A and B are shown apart, each in its own frame.
Chain A
Amino acid sequence: MTAEVKKYTLEQVEALELAPGAEHENLEGWVPALASEDDLRQALEKAFDYRGDVTLTLKNGERIEAYIFNRRTGPTLAGSYVQYFTPSAPEKRQVSYAEIARIEFTGKDRAAGKHWEDWVKNYNERKAAGEKNIALAPEALG
């Protein structure tokens, strides 16, 4: 947890009626400028939280399509790395922050959208039309 996160007092917590939902950040398609070490660290932090694939371009030119599920940070970029899965390999992989030249949020953000509002609207319309067995199906895996 970073220091700038607003903390609740115990009194505030106990009196909460509705929990504030999360504000979803639209990152799909984003290509952050990596001018400094801080830029890189912040971009990789967002990539870790992103529910879609990103494309990493390494300093040696290699491009990796990756779902980043973890990061381990140290005082240096060489001592920090992200862990990821690629669509084509079964095993976990990792790459040092120091090797990364560019990050592109290329994959679809699977947590984006107004699925619930869409569902309610869709349900009400289909119900009014007399349809039966209305359902929201998970996305096909291809």
Chain B
Amino acid sequence: MAVPISQMWTVSTYVLKQKLTGRKRYPLVLMLEPLFRCSLACAGCGKVQYPPHILKKQLTPEECFAAVDECGAPMVSIPGGEPLLHPQIVEIVNGLIARKKYIYLCTNALELKKRLPEFTPSKYLTFSVHLDGQREHHDFSVCREGGYEIAVEGIREAVKRGFRVTTNATFFDGTDPNGVRAFFDEVMAMGVEGIVLSPGYSYDKAPDQNRFMGRARVRRLFRAILSNRKPSWKFNMSPLFLEFLMGKRNYECTPWGMPAYNIFGWQKPCYLLQEGYAESYKELLETTSWEEYGVASGNPKCANCMVSCGYETTAVIDGFGSVKGFLAMARGNFNLYRDQHALKLLSEPAAHGPLVQIEEPARSLEEANV
């Protein structure tokens, strides 16, 4: 189990409190995007395609704190853009730590090693380093040779200084499951607390529109990756969400669970879709037509989505919201998910070279057990 007990306690008591007070919709993680500016130009990212004057804008620390205070989520993820490019990011982080929020600062780590002395290790602060796979895979994915090496240097330095560190990977079509498993070995050897992963979302503004997996292919890929686990692998995620990715559970999206706030306001309906903005979290909850989103809605924009910002909230609420869910979650933390069929998937000839995104898939994996 990678998540510290204090964080689990905070989240579980928060979920129970919402349940006891009969609150129907509530935030679990605030996705706080203080800026869209980034130092990378990744092909799968649809977050940074804006005119320069928009990329130069950023939230002030006061705007960040007001959003955090209004929505009240116990956890805050700070993606972007690249948060370390924000000149007041240290002030923002320290303000959130003072509010006892568990922070995941998502970074490509190009500046991490240099900036670490400005931060103080805390149980509330985790650096979530974007690392999409082994060296060549990551470098090609982020369109920058040498990016892996710099990120790993940052990870090692952060671990050495006593920071909580996770890696954060996004997988697209063509990912080699054996390469991902070898990558898990590598990152655990770096001393990280755990691994975070997700299938890519089909951003309609992303430069590459041909590599987004549908749900059937996502389930097969993650079944191959996450079955027959090594005991050394730790995941900084809900085990029930991982079971969902593997095709062992069906969940519906909880778009209001990880609301996104950025320079435009509160994003409707979720971190991934941009269908408008609200001035407050209250207005977001009250004016969004939630029934139009999620896989059951039939909305084509939600059709292939199995991303953590929509489904991990569902898994967490399931895990902390009932005895049955809690037991399943506890079992999931220790289960290695032995699966002969998944082994067979892994032993099939590799469809791709190390630069997995160059080549077309030569064959499809077998169906998962949904």
Residue from B51, B292, B296, B364 in contact with A87 in the complex, judged by beta carbons closer than 8 Å? B51
CB of B121 closer than 8 Å to a CB of A: no
- Cβ contacts under 8 Å, A38 to chain B: none
Q: With contacts defined as CB atoms under 8 Å apart, how many contacts are there between chain A and chain B in the complex? A: 151
Q: Is the CB of B55 within 8 A of A115?
A: no
- Cβ contacts under 8 Å, B185 to chain A: none
Closest CB-CB distance, A136 to chain B, in whole Å? 4
CB of B111 closer than 8 Å to a CB of A: no
- Cβ contacts under 8 Å, B140 to chain A: 123
Known: A13-B215, A110-B49, A135-B144. A69 touches B303 (CB 8 A): no
Q: Is the CB of B43 within 8 A of A116?
A: yes
CB of B61 closer than 8 Å to a CB of A: no
Which of the candidate stretches B33-41, B317-325, B326-334 sits at the interface with the other chain? Answer: B33-41
Q: Is the CB of A8 within 8 A of B216?
A: no
Kindly supply a per-residue 1/0 record for chain B positions 49-76, scoring 1 wherever the CB is within 8 Å of any chain A CB and 0 otherwise. 1111111110000000000000000000
Kindly supply a per-residue 1/0 record for chain B positions 141-154, scoring 1 wherever the CB is within 8 Å of any chain A CB and 0 otherwise. 00111110000000
For window 281-319 of B, CB contacts with A under 8 Å fall at: 289, 292, 295-300, 303-304
Q: Is the CB of B145 within 8 A of A134?
A: yes
Q: Is the CB of B207 within 8 A of A85?
A: no
CB of B214 closer than 8 Å to a CB of A: yes
Kindly supply a per-residue 1/0 record for chain A positions 105-135, scoring 1 wherever the CB is within 8 Å of any chain B CB and 0 otherwise. 0011011011110011001100000001111
- Cβ contacts under 8 Å, B265 to chain A: 70
Q: Is the CB of B146 within 8 A of A107?
A: no
Q: Is the CB of B205 within 8 A of A111?
A: yes
Residue from A1, A71, A141 in contact with B37 in the complex, judged by beta carbons closer than 8 Å? A141
Q: Is the CB of A18 within 8 A of B299?
A: no
Q: Is the CB of A51 within 8 A of B52?
A: no
Closest CB-CB distance, B262 to chain A, in whole Å? 10
Residue from B43, B54, B147, B275 in contact with A115 in the complex, judged by beta carbons closer than 8 Å? B43
Q: Is the CB of B57 within 8 A of A85?
A: yes
Q: Is the CB of A13 within 8 A of B173?
A: no
CB of B208 closer than 8 Å to a CB of A: yes
Q: Is the CB of A16 within 8 A of B298?
A: no
CB of A35 closer than 8 Å to a CB of B: no
Closest CB-CB distance, A113 to chain B, in whole Å? 7
Residue from B46, B54, B215, B297 in contact with A85 in the complex, judged by beta carbons closer than 8 Å? B54
Residue from B49, B202, B297, B299 in contact with A111 in the complex, judged by beta carbons closer than 8 Å? B49
Q: How many residues of A contact B (CB 8 A)?
A: 56
Known: A67-B53, A135-B146, A136-B143. A14 touches B216 (CB 8 A): yes
- Cβ contacts under 8 Å, B202 to chain A: 19-22
Known: A70-B264, A119-B143. A138 touches B295 (CB 8 A): no
- Cβ contacts under 8 Å, A140 to chain B: 52
Kindly supply a per-residue 1/0 record for chain B positions 202-228, scoring 1 wherever the CB is within 8 Å of any chain A CB and 0 otherwise. 101101111011111100000000000
CB of B277 closer than 8 Å to a CB of A: yes
- Cβ contacts under 8 Å, B336 to chain A: none
- Residue in A6, A13, A110 with the greatest tally of chain B CB atoms within 10 Å: A13
Q: Is the CB of A19 within 8 A of B207?
A: no
- Cβ contacts under 8 Å, B364 to chain A: 17
Residue from A51, A120, A135 in contact with B358 in the complex, judged by beta carbons closer than 8 Å? A120
Q: Is the CB of A141 within 8 A of B55?
A: yes
CB of B89 closer than 8 Å to a CB of A: no
In the complex, A72 Cα to B208 Cα: how many Å? 30
Q: Which residues of B contact A (CB under 8 A)?
A: 37-41, 43, 46, 48-57, 140, 143-147, 173, 202, 204-205, 207-210, 212-217, 263-265, 275-277, 289, 292, 295-300, 303-304, 357-358, 364, 370
Beyond A1-B299, A5-B300, A136-B41, 18 extra complex contacts between A and B, CB < 8 Å: A1-B275, A1-B292, A7-B299, A10-B298, A13-B303, A16-B214, A17-B364, A70-B265, A85-B57, A87-B51, A119-B143, A120-B358, A133-B146, A134-B145, A135-B145, A135-B146, A139-B52, A140-B52
